[in-house]
Amino acid sequence: RVPKQRKEEHFVTLFLAQTTIQPTEVEDIEFNGEIGKTHITFKSSKHATLAFDTLDGKPEEDKTKRLQKKIYLKGGGYVRVRMMVAKKPSDHTHGGRSSSGGSNGNTSDKPKAKTAS
């Protein structure tokens, strides 16, 4: 869940401020009305997992059983960050991903965090 006034660089600032872990990529935010979604990629799945674990907020399962956190923003509003790292035996060789926005069924090897609606 990404409010309309947020931009990609806000997520770099958010992760650096709360986790000191630098995202390697923040995809363009795709908006559907006033709410959007994006993917945030990290250097490795370990980086993505540590970034998610370090973010403020209580982890909760969404309807697809993925962990997500509700992160409150300065100036009001919030984003939901969903953990999107797949657990693999060779996980240490893949990048990490978090997501912001709705779920898109992504199966990328890149570790991501997703902000979710």
Q: How far apart are CA 63 and CA 95, in angstroms?
A: 25
The token pair at 27 is 């995809």
Closest to 5 (Cα-Cα) out of 40, 41, 29: 29
Other C-beta atoms lying within 10 Å of the C-beta of residue 4: 11
Q: How far apart are CA 26 and CA 99, in angstroms?
A: 9
Q: Which domain holds residue 101?
A: 2-115
Interval 61-76: pLDDT, tens: 999 999 999 999 888 8
The model's pTM is 0.74
What is the number of structural domains in the chain? 1
Interval 19-59: pLDDT, tens: 999 999 999 999 999 889 999 999 999 999 999 999 999 99
